[in-house]
Structure 1
Amino acid sequence: MATIKKKRILREVRFLVMITIGAMIAAAGLEFFLVPNDILDGGVIGLSIIASELTGWTMSIFLILLNLPFLYIGYRKIGMKFTMHTLYGVVVLSLSTAYLHHFEPVTDDLFLATVIGAVILGTGVGLVIRTGGALDGTEIIAILVSKKRPVSVGQFIMVVNVFIFILAALLVFSWETAMYSIITYYIAYKMIDIVVEGLEEWKSVTIISEKPEEIADSLLDQLGRGMTYIQGEGVFSKQPKKIIYTIVSRIELSTVRSVVDEIDPNALVAIENTTDVRGSNFDTGSPH
């Protein structure tokens, strides 16, 4: 029991360290590039920038105040652990932006500020999300809405952000900076995906063929990658079938296609994106 408790404590410390680093990186992207050039991110961060411009209060105050209702909803609907990680991340982000606000911006070039700021911001937010938290309360609402309505999390956040960018253009900034803000949001969104899911793109491949052994032997020989037979049955023929299942990298996918086309051009090949692969010494390429 003591060993398990120690592992949990160490894991939680590691999570908090990663959230701290992620929130500080996000703050650097905001204060060194985006905020000084009147460029918004979406969600609560964007609303905080607008509120700061309208009231003259520091953005760090609004980062906490505007997130509080979402955090309460998250606590009631999602759970304590996620909510506490998110609250901690928001506090670190708020304190970091308050501190960095006193430094001079790195550049006043709008294009450079948009691209570099978005990359840095997306990296920081991605680290926090990968750890199991968030820096923006609108993501909590998006998760809850997606469970009850036929709308994805990304679609809901996009709608909210379009409204925020229009609001910014009408009340505070210009349409030009609003359009730069849209570019910022898109780049940051992609960077979050890269940080959370990684640069490598894995593909899960399912092959249904009349020659499964030949295809499997050839793939094993050329890729050195393990695979699994799934026992199936044809609906019409009622005959047993061996279905090949394996996971390959994007680069290896062309070899899979070539092998299947050469051995059985009529084979059915289904390919899906896989964002995370663990266990069975997969990285070494040994058989599953």
Structure 2
Amino acid sequence: MPKKQNKIVAYIKKYLLLFIGAIITSIGLEIFLVPNNIIDGGIIGISIMLSHITQLPLSFFIVVLNIPFLYLGYMQIGKTFTISTLFSVLSLAYWVAFFLPIPSVTQDLFLAAVFGGITIGVGVGIIIRYGGSLDGTEIVAIIFDKRTSFSVGEIIMFMNLFILGSAGLVFGWDKAMYSLVAYYIAFKVIDIVIEGLDESKAVLIVSDNPDEIADALMARLGRGVTVLHGEGGYTGEPKKVLYSVVTRLEVAKLKLIVQEKDENAFVTINEVHDVMGGRVKKKAIH
């Protein structure tokens, strides 16, 4: 019974956050970008231009243009993703219509692009983090990624450059350039929301003093250390390889600890996009 309750709570939390993400995104659109004829990338950007040309509601195009991509997502990615995306798209359409009568808080195009990009980045980042999407071009990119040599990011970038370039023909080239600013800011903020401000780093340490380093890391950083058993490629001697995950701010302290224990230690540090479980509770750093 507790497991079932936990599953229900997680389910409710997920859709609540998808709903909140849609509200935040709609604020960025209707309070900053749309009134100033600045667009975002993807389906939302196309919807803004079509709404301007036809004078039909933006919410109408957001839903209609995403329908074929939702079908593709269902066929190629899965039901759970499609349901989360449909919920996010319908929520966005509702709140875009809700905020439509509210005037823009600024007529300064640069401020609109900056704060619109930040707001949209936060909203979209929340939605992506919890398994949804607002942009059918992402689905297309995932499908083409499996069939071409281009990555998902490269495909999305190409499509968005075309869409943002089209804004120059509809709204003028100055608005297109401000749209590019808004898109870039949103792109960066999405990364921050998905990965978190407290970015984690995975560390591998090969040393002749592995036990001393492991003890020091646990005592002075309060981080768990996993011992992996390797072998020297040249000598064939067994080696203990230490693996740990630390925050970005702890990397300098970790390097100092390793150098104190073994100046010749080999250390590699890589970015970690998400960490789940297994972390030792943080202790005070001495």
Equivalent position of 2:268 in the other structure: 270
Matched, 1:162 2:161: yes
Q: Paired residue for 1:32?
A: 31
> What is the rounded CA distance, in whole Å, between the counterparts of 1:89 and 1:272 in structure 2?
33
Aligned-residue sequence identity (percent) comes to 47
Q: 1:189 — aligned with what?
A: 187
Q: Is 1:213 aligned to residue 248 of structure 2? A: no
User: SS state of the match for residue 190, structure 1?
Assistant: helix
| 10-19 or 29-38: bigger deviation | 10-19
Q: Distance in 1 between matches of 2:87 and 2:222?
A: 45
Are residues 1:45 and 2:41 paired?
A: no
Letter in 1 for 2:119: I
| Moved segments of 4+, more than 4 Å | none
For residues 220 and 41 of structure 2, the distance between their equivalents in structure 1, rounded to whole angstroms, comes to 46
Which of 232, 235, 239 does residue 233 from structure 2 map onto?
Answer: 235
Structure 1 residues 282 and 177: alpha-carbon distance in aligned structure 2, compared to 1, 3 A threshold: farther
Name which of structure 1's ranges 100-109 and 223-232 shifts more when overlaid on structure 2. 223-232
Query: What displacement does 1:281 show?
Result: 4.6
3-state secondary structure, aligned to 2:94: helix
- Shift of residue 229, structure 1, vs aligned partner: 1.2
> 1:109-188 maps to which residues of 2 (within 5 A)?
109-170=108-169, 172-188=170-186
Count of aligned pairs between the two proteins: 284
Aligned residue number for residue 223 of structure 2: 225
Partner of 2:134: helix, strand, or coil? coil
TM-score (norm 2): 0.94
What is the CA RMSD across the aligned residues, in angstroms?
1.7
Q: Using the TM superposition, give the Cα deviation of residue 3 of structure 1 relative to its aligned residue in structure 2, in angstroms.
A: 4.3
The 8 Å contact of residues 34 and 40 in structure 1, kept in 2 or not, is answered as yes
Q: CA deviation at 1:10?
A: 2.8
Q: CA deviation at 1:227?
A: 0.8
The alpha carbon displacement at 1:39 in A equals 0.5
Q: CA deviation at 1:259?
A: 2.7
Are the equivalent residues in 2 in contact too, given 1:126–1:193 (CA < 8 A)? yes
TM-score by length of 1: 0.93
5+ long unaligned stretches in structure 1: none
**Residues 48 and 206 (structure 1), Cα distance of their counterparts in 2 relative to 1, 3 Å cut:** same
